[in-house]
């Protein structure tokens, strides 16, 4: 095999640095090649991040900013998939150039591309389930996988209903899931040998989201687990991922190997922000008291996710061609607001802190005239920069970006007007809540202890960080890396390894300094801890029992 790419979702470079002695296969790759952080998109989210990885472009070019997109001239969203992407992937480019290419499980690959080898899609429908013909190319491969391996599943557990036994059962499923992926890869390489294989591992992301509260004794949401194995669940899943790496190297016998994650992982604070409540307190948004049903929309959605049998959820989503799910999601994001008295608003997504202006000509009841958009944005930004954490009096918001500052390309108008970077009290991400999902009017609160674990759709106890991991080893040809490796710069690197021409949209103007990849020290200069980070890491290691 020419190149093996293992996409370890949410795999954190800080944890890798901490646990290198426990991760021998990954450590050997890093030692024999190079490793360091891979900087994700802003904010670091699954769909736009993996799309940037695949296309070598920023979301303003490829067009995927979220799991959904706004519908034109409506306060509504629709769920999207790979058909929304405006640029071809490096998988397709390599396939069309004559390489045999296979891809398994990567998000934003549904519907599957007609690659020269095969593609098994990721969880691009909102509810993962068993892959059928529509998820697999060529379609008959799904039948072979079913006969030989009993099928391929996209995380066969419900992250929205978390009971007493959930974590123990889920940990076993995560470990078994990685073993199943190895067997699938072994089968695929026997049936359809490829030159380039891409395998996605989602378990490393799931364990970070749901088990961080057991792993990190300094977390404000720390919970002493009832089972001792839960306290080491994150490490155990990382070790299982390392074992997967070792087995994949044996199966593929690649000339070159690349390990990549779409973002890192860290803990979530017990402090919750309600963006629209804060905008209301600043006179920038007005809720509609007559919209009494609005709070119940989110509760209905949560109830459905928790209590509808898991595999039945996919069928519910498909009702009316997916329009029912889109309608529920739209109502939850946009209901309950008096648009005639609102200048700015947030969709209040817990993974995407961003704001839209209520623009004339875009929103159905917009009040911000085009000539006033810049001054209104300034007013909103000034108000947000004045927001203070009641516990510390420190600023809540670190930075605010106009969309044109972080996205470039023809798709920029589909992005929110303002993207927020929030501060991290004591190193932990603020949780974000929905203003109409609770009683009370404060834009800030602390979680109750029974809310610490959280669930999907609410605040999970682990959350994304900007830096994922990059490891590269085994390539004999000279490889050149930018001074700071961004996720969007991996695609041209892949094409370079394959000896293919890099298309114009992947070429990054303004980054002229490249250097040869020689050793594991090449990227480490960008990964040194400052004194505060070093002390925080020391305290964490002590708390975890490593020092």
pLDDT in tens, 371-425: 999 999 999 999 999 999 999 999 999 999 999 999 999 999 999 999 999 999 9
Rounded distance, CA 460 to CA 416, Å? 24
Residue with token string 């072979």 = 144
pLDDT digits (tens, 9 = 90+) for 142-175: 999 999 999 887 766 666 668 778 999 999 999 9
Would the pLDDT of 544 be above 70?
no
Where are the CATH 3.40.720.10 domain residues in the chain?
Answer: 3-267+465-544
Q: How far is CA 383 from CA 255, 359, 387, 395, 415, in A?
A: 54, 19, 7, 11, 21
Average pLDDT over residues 226-238: 95
Instruction: Indicate whether 521 pLDDT > 70.
Output: no
- pLDDT (mean) for 450-478: 85
The top-scoring range by mean pLDDT among 87-101, 446-460, 529-543 is: 87-101
Percent over 90 (pLDDT), the chain? 68
Of 35-49, 349-363, 507-521, which gets the smallest average pLDDT? 507-521
* Residue bearing the bigger pLDDT, 45 or 305: 45
Of 245 and 334, more confident: 245
Taking only the tens place, the pLDDT of each residue in 108-123 is: 998 899 999 999 998 7
Q: For the stretch 140-155, what's the b/e string if a residue is b when 16 or more beta carbons lie within 10 angstroms of its beta carbon?
A: ebbeebeeeeebbebb
What is the rounded average pLDDT for all residues in the chain? Answer: 85
Mean pLDDT of 129-134: 73
Supply the angle between the helices 140-149 and 166-191 in degrees, to the nearest 10: 120
Reported confidence tier of residue 78, pLDDT bands at 50, 70, 90: confident
How confident is residue 72, by pLDDT bands cut at 50, 70 and 90? confident
Q: What are all long-range contacts of 529-534, with beta carbons under 8 Å and residues at least 24 apart?
A: none
At residue 494 the predicted structure's pLDDT band, cuts being 50, 70 and 90, is very high
The pLDDT assigned to 482 comes to 61
Tell me how far apart the alpha carbons of residues 288 and 291 are, in angstroms, rounded to a whole number.
6
Contacts of 117 (CB under 8 A, 6+ apart): 95, 100, 101, 102, 192, 194
pLDDT at 15: 97
pLDDT exceeds cutoff 50 at 527: no
Q: How confident is the model at residue 524 (pLDDT cuts 50, 70, 90)?
A: very low
Distance (Å, rounded) from C-alpha 139 to C-alpha 147?
14
CATH 3.30.470.20 fits 3-267+465-544, yes or no: no
* pLDDT at residue 436 is higher than 90: no
Q: Indicate the range of 133-137, 217-221, 360-364 predicted with least confidence.
A: 133-137
Does the pLDDT of residue 128 top 70, yes or no? no
Check residues 534 and 313 and name the one with the higher pLDDT: 313
Higher pLDDT among residues 479 and 201, named by residue: 201
Residue 239's contacts (CB-CB under 8 Å, 6 or more residues apart) are 22, 23
């Amino acid at each position: 095999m020419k190149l093996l790419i293992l996409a370890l979702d949410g795999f954190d470079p800080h944890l890798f640095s901490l646990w290198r002695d426990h991760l021998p296969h990954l450590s050997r790759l890093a030692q024999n090649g190079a490793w360091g952080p891979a900087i994700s998109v802003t904010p670091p989210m699954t769909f736009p991040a993996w799309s940037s990885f695949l296309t070598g472009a920023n979301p303003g070019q490829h067009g995927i900013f979220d799991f959904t997109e706004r519908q034109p001239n409506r306060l509504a969203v629709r769920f999207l998939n790979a058909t929304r992407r405006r640029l071809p992937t490096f998988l397709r480019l390599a396939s069309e150039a004559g390489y045999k290419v296979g891809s398994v499980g990567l998000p934003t690959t549904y519907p599957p591309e007609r690659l020269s080898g095969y593609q098994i899609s990721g969880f691009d429908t909102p509810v993962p389930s068993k892959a059928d013909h529509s998820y697999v190319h060529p379609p008959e491969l799904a039948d072979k996988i079913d006969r030989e391996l009993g099928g391929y599943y996209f995380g066969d557990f419900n992250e929205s209903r978390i009971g007493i036994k959930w974590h123990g059962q889920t940990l076993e499923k995560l470990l078994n899931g990685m073993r199943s992926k190895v067997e699938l890869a072994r089968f695929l390489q026997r049936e359809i040998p490829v030159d380039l294989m891409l395998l996605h591992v989602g378990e490393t992301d799931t364990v970070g989201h749901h088990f961080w509260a057991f792993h990190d004794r300094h977390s404000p949401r720390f919970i002493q687990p009832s089972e001792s194995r839960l306290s080491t669940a994150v490490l155990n899943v990382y070790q299982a991922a390392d074992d997967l790496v070792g087995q994949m190297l044996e199966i593929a016998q690649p000339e070159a190997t690349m390990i990549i994650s779409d973002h890192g992982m860290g803990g979530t604070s017990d402090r919750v922000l309600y963006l629209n409540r804060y905008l209301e307190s600043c006179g920038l948004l007005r809720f509609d008291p007559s919209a009494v049903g609005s709070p119940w929309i989110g509760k209905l959605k949560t109830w459905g996710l928790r209590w509808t049998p898991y595999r039945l959820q996919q069928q519910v989503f498909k009702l009316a061609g997916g329009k029912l799910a889109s309608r529920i999601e739209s109502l939850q994001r946009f209901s309950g607001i008096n648009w005639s008295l609102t200048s700015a608003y947030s969709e209040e997504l817990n993974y995407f802190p961003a704001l839209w202006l209520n623009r004339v000509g875009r929103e159905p009841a917009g009040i911000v005239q085009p000539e006033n958009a810049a001054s209104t944005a300034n007013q909103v930004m000034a108000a947000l920069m004045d927001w203070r954490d009641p516990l510390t009096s420190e600023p809540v918001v670190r930075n605010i970006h106009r969309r044109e500052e972080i996205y470039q390309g023809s798709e920029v108008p589909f992005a929110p007007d303002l993207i927020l970077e929030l501060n991290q009290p004591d190193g932990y991400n603020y949780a974000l809540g929905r203003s109409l999902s609770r009683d009370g009017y404060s834009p800030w609160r602390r979680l109750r202890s029974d809310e610490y674990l959280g669930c999907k759709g609410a605040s999970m106890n682990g959350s994304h960080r900007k830096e994922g991991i990059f490891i590269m080893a085994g390539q004999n040809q000279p490889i050149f890396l930018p001074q700071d490796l961004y996720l969007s710069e991996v695609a041209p690197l892949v094409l370079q390894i394959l000896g293919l021409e890099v298309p114009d949209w992947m070429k990054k103007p303004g980054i002229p300094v490249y250097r040869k990849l020689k050793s594991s020290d090449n990227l480490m200069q960008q990964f040194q801890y400052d004194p505060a980070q070093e002390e925080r890491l020391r305290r964490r290691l002590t708390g975890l029992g490593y020092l």
